[in-house]
Each structure stands twice: as C-alpha cells, then as structure tokens.
Amino acid sequence: MTGRSLLAAALICGSLFAHADPKAEFIDHWQQQGLSQAYIEQALDQATFNQGILDAIQKPWEAKPWYQYYPLFLTEERLDAGLAFWQEHRATLERAEQELGVEPEIVVAIIGVETYYGRHLGRHAVLDALYTLGFYYPPRQTFFRKELGHYLQLAEEQGWSLTEIKGSYAGAMGLGQFIPSSYQAYAVDFDGDGKRDLLTNPTDAIGSVANYFAKHRWQHGAIAAEPVTVAADAPIKPVLWDGRPLKHDAAALSAQGVAVPQGRDGKLSLLQLEVAEGQWGHFLAHPNFYTITRYNRSPLYAMAVWEFSQQLKQAMADG
C-alpha cells in the first residue's frame, strides 16, 4: 500500500471511529440541542459513578409478585397522609379537576405512591444517577443518556446547581417524580408565580400530575380496572395485556372464557396478578389503566395507584 493509500485508510478509520467515545458523542449531540460544550463538559466532570444506582435498578420493587407489592403502598398510614394532603390542597385539586378533567383521588394517589407526599423525594444526586445509567447500564443506556441531556437543559433553564438536585435511582424528581423529559414536557406553573417548581411546590405538582394524565387521554369518570372471573383452564393468553395499547373488545374476551360484566365497551384487556403464593386473580383493564401505565409502565404500579385512589375516594366520601 502506498503512503497516499495509507493516509486515505487512516482518514477513513478516523472518520469511522471519531464518535466511538460515547461521551464525545453525547457532547456533540447536546451541543446541537443548544447547550454549550463547556457546560456539558463541566457536568460530566462533576458527575460521579454510583454502583448503588446499578444495584437498585436491577432489583426494582415491581419485580415482586402483587401480593408482596401492594402492602408496600396500601397502608392505613399512607391513607391517612393522603386524606390530610387532600384536605390541605382541596381547592387546588378541585381546580385541577375542573381545568384538566382528572379526579383528585388519582392525583393524590400518584403523589402518595411516588413520594409519600414529599417524605421520600429520593436520596440520589440526579446528575450521578443519570450519568451512571447513561454510561454504565447497557440495557437502557440510550434512554438514560437522553434523560441526562434533558436534565442538563432543565437545570440550565431552572437555574439549578447540577449536583444539588436529589431524586430516585432512575433520576426522577419532585413530589410527582418526573423524569427530566417529562418535567420539560408536562410540568406547569399552576400557581402563576412564573416558575414550574415540582420539587417544593405542591400546587405546581398537583397541576403537573393532572396535566400529565390529561395529555395521556385520561377519561374523567371512567374506571381503570375491575376484578373479573375466568373459566377454569380458559385459553386467556391471547387476551392478556402485553404492555401495548389495549386492543380487545368484550366479545373477544368473552370468547376466551372471561366473564366480562354487561355494558363494558371500548378497548379492553386482561390482567393476571398473583394475589397469594401460587394463586392468581384476574382483572379487566380499561383505557384509564393504560393511561396510568404511561406514568410507570408496571401493571403492579398501575393497579396499586388505582386501588389506592379508590380507597382515598371512599374514605373522603365516608368523612
């Protein structure tokens, strides 16, 4: 190979591997989104790898069976705290329902399950969490690297110190635990003070959770899930929910041995949850159930939120 050929080959290889460094790719991409190179490099220099983050994401609560999962959230103490939060913020919750069409009990349930009304806002630096998952957790590195970029944008917009904001091991923040891209897209200034503060402002948090649900097609007054019976040895696998938008109707479910209550129309699906060791319960999922899973994709999470919301609603009605 001639010297000129060697040079050409070197240039080609250099072009192919110019962006092999994931941090260089990250810097280049987010510069194109409007952040300065110096700001991005400063953020990466300040970020710290955290092994505890990797350990936590590989042992999520949602990996538990239903009968072990729901007692973590459906407690008398959390119910009492939720009722107190509802009473304190009744006017704001009513306004959110009027303006956005999301019932108070759903908003109160979300904030209760996510952070116990601000008691558990998260102990991890969001910068470290997203950096660790974005660069050291291959199964979901693309998602978390993107969230890291959104966090840098958000911190610049909000005037936050990059290292001081705390959240969950997955980088979720505030009373409603919004990830950075959701914060940017769905947070609202619900008290009109010129700021979208989900970290310390319950009014903004209430409005933002309601806005999130409204934007994800929450149907006011409709249920999310209900128990149903299934015939013994029924071939239910084709109608079990697969995480995607609901696609079956009552006739299709009935044909598979599901006792669908009268009057249930629209798109539906079937959930199967382990209600005791080795024992399975079945639930009919409605479109509102799918909406809850846009907040957290776990069916266990969605069921816990729905059940908790109904406990709250009943307790408020009982006075």
The share of the chain scoring above pLDDT 70, in percent, equals 94
Q: Which two tokens stand for residue 88?
A: 């304190």
Mean pLDDT, the chain, as a whole number? 92
Note whether 295 and 217 are within 8 A (CB). no
pLDDT recorded at residue 60: 73
pTM more than 0.95: no
**Does residue 13 carry a pLDDT above 80?**
no
Reference 127, options 186, 20, 21, 42; nearest CA is 42
Residue 61: its pLDDT value, please? 67
Q: What is the CATH number of domain 21-59+122-172?
A: 1.10.8.350
Phi/psi of residue 78, each to 5°? Answer: -70, -35
Question: If pLDDT is split at 50, 70 and 90, which confidence band does 17 have?
Answer: very low
Bridge partners (DSSP) of residue 276 are 279
Query: Mean pLDDT throughout 266-276?
Result: 96
What span, in angstroms and rounded, lies between the C-alpha atoms of 50 and 279? 38
> Would you state the pLDDT for residue 5?
44
In this predicted structure, what is the pLDDT of residue 63?
A: 75
Higher pLDDT, 298 or 64: 298
Band (pLDDT 50/70/90 cuts) for residue 9 is very low
**Which residues have a catalytic role annotated?**
114
Spatial neighbors of 68 by CB under 8 A, at least 6 apart, are none
